Structure formats: C-alpha cells, structure tokens
C-alpha cells in the first residue's frame, strides 16, 4: 500500500469570467496548467451582488465536460440542446459538451451569497465529437456519508455505502465534498493510476505522513500518486477531493474549445461562426 503525499500547494489566482463574475482559478493557471484529465477548476462566489449579477451569457464549448456544483445561491441554466433549469444549493450540473453546445448560466437571485465550483474534465479524442449530454443532479440524489467526525457528499465515486450518481464514466472520477471536524481524519482508497488533488475551501489540513507547508483557504493541493489517502483536519475544514484516470492525449486549447490539434480548434471556431456548431 502506497500512502499519498503532497506534491505541491498552490494558491488560487483571482480572476473573472463570463460577464465579469469574480472567481478564484486554481487549475488552468501557469502553476497548474493541466492535471490530466482535469483542465480547469474555478471557485466562484461573492456576497456582493455586483460581482455576479452579469452572470455567464450564452457561450460555446466543444471537447470538454463541465461540472458545476452549487454550494450557495441560484443560477439558471439554458442550452442549445433544449435543457433548462434552476440550480439551487447542493445541485450539480454535469454537461458533456461533445461536438458543441451553446449555454448560459445566469443568476436567479438578486442578492445574497453565491458560492460554487466549476470543474472542466477533458474528453478523449474518440468522444470529442459525440452528441452533447446534459445531466442535472439534484442535491437529494447525491450519495451522503455522515458520522460524528465528517460529512461527505459524493458526486462521483463511492465512499463506504455512499455512491455518486455519475457512473460508468471513462476516467472513473472521484468527486467528494467533505466537511471534517477538528483533529479528525478522512481516509479513502484511490486507484493507483489516478491523478488527484484536494481543493481546500476553508480550514487547515495535514496530508500523508511527510511534513509540508501550512495549508490555507482556497489552496489547491496537488497530490502524488498512491492508493491510500489520509487527511487530518488541524481545525474544522471544508474541502473537495477529486481524482480521475489520465487520458494521456495531446491537448490544444482555444478559449472554450479543447481538442487534440490546433487544426481542430480552428475548425471549431469556423463551425461556430458559420452556424453548424450546435447542429445535432
């Protein structure tokens, strides 16, 4: 058994996206450009309505999956497949964009606290031109493990008897949202070939048995490969644990498009401008 240790601790960068929504980006930055198969991780949120009211107006994607997880607030989703709905606290939107989708995510709230995450997962070359799929997961459909030491919400993967609703995925993802009480431990088995990371929302964690720098709020904690994760909370902490099987293919990026070659990016831009992009 190989215990997982910390590879690197990275402070999330302040950024903005959409029509100026303020966020903290940790994957998709110079220090963590790509953690195969994960392309981007954003923590978005504010208690100031001016930071989020403009939302994310209609925009395209091709070749990726976007997983949006809301912790506070309400956003309305609408896309070119005809999918539409309002996300509320605890809900998940898992969108496999395939050959092309145009969607918008706009706040369905005029005040209050907004907090959530968006994760981008790469798609293998054989799936990048598939028809898009949209999965809406309500809060009560998530697997939940609860005891005196921790609460674990399971979006993908399995923890003890709690299982996430996203199954049969090509990268075998694990996506846990964990609240861990002070001085308590979270332990789980991880496939040894998976790449994994922790995103610390609040608190302070010790990971593995090696000494490491102090962790802080909005830290991305990149992990070495191994098959046993042990995390201790030095104070009450809230964090994500995410892992997935690497795809191992070249990537080419062009804004909201991620393909395998630059030529495919240029084709995506051309398809978007000539109106064939989201034709199914």
The string of pLDDT tens digits covering residues 46-101 is 888 888 888 889 899 999 999 999 999 999 999 998 888 899 999 999 999 999 99
Identify the residue whose tokens are 């009560």. 140
pTM of the complete model beyond 0.85 = yes
Is 42 in contact with 23 (CB distance < 8 Å)? yes
The pLDDT assigned to 1 comes to 79
How far apart, in whole angstroms, are the C-alpha atoms of residue 115 and residue 68?
A: 11
The pLDDT assigned to 43 comes to 96
- Return the domain boundaries, the chain: 6-274
CATH number of 6-274: 2.60.120.10
- Residue whose C-alpha is closest to residue 124's, from 171, 168, 167: 171
Identify the residue whose tokens are 């490491």. 212
How far apart, in whole angstroms, are the C-alpha atoms of residue 68 and residue 217?
A: 20
Is 232 in contact with 204 (CB distance < 8 Å)? no
Q: Which residues pair with 200 in a beta bridge?
A: 219, 239
Tell me what the mean pLDDT of segment 215-232 comes to.
98
The string of pLDDT tens digits covering residues 137-151 is 999 999 999 999 999
């Amino acid at each position: 058994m190989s215990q997982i240790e910390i590879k690197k601790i990275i402070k999330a960068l302040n950024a903005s996206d959409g029509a100026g929504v303020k966020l903290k980006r940790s994957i998709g930055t110079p220090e963590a450009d790509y953690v195969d198969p994960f392309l981007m991780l954003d923590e978005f949120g504010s208690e100031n309505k001016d930071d989020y009211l403009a939302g994310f107006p209609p925009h395209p994607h091709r070749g990726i999956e976007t997983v949006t997880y809301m912790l506070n607030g309400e956003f309305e989703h609408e896309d070119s497949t005809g999918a539409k709905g309002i996300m509320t606290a605890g809900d998940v939107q898992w969108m496999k964009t395939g050959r092309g989708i145009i969607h918008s995510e706009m706040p369905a709230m005029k005040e209050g606290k907004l907090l959530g995450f968006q994760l981008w997962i790469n798609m293998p070359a054989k799936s990048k031109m598939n028809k898009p799929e949209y999965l809406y997961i309500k809060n009560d459909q998530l697997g939940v493990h609860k005891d005196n030491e921790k609460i674990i919400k399971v979006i993908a993967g399995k923890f003890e008897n709690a299982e996430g609703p996203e199954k049969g995925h090509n990268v075998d993802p694990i996506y846990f949202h964990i609240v861990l009480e002070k001085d308590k431990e979270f332990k789980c088995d991880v496939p040894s070939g998976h790449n994994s990371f922790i995103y610390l929302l609040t608190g302070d964690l010790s990971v593995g048995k090696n000494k490491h720098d102090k962790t802080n709020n909005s830290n991305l904690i990149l992990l070495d490969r191994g098959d046993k994760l042990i995390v201790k909370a030095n104070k009450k902490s809230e964090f994500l644990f995410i892992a997935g099987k690497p795809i191992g293919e070249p990537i080419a990026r062009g804004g909201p498009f991620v393909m395998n070659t630059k030529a495919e990016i240029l084709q995506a831009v051309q398809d978007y401008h000539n109106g064939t992009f989201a034709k199914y």
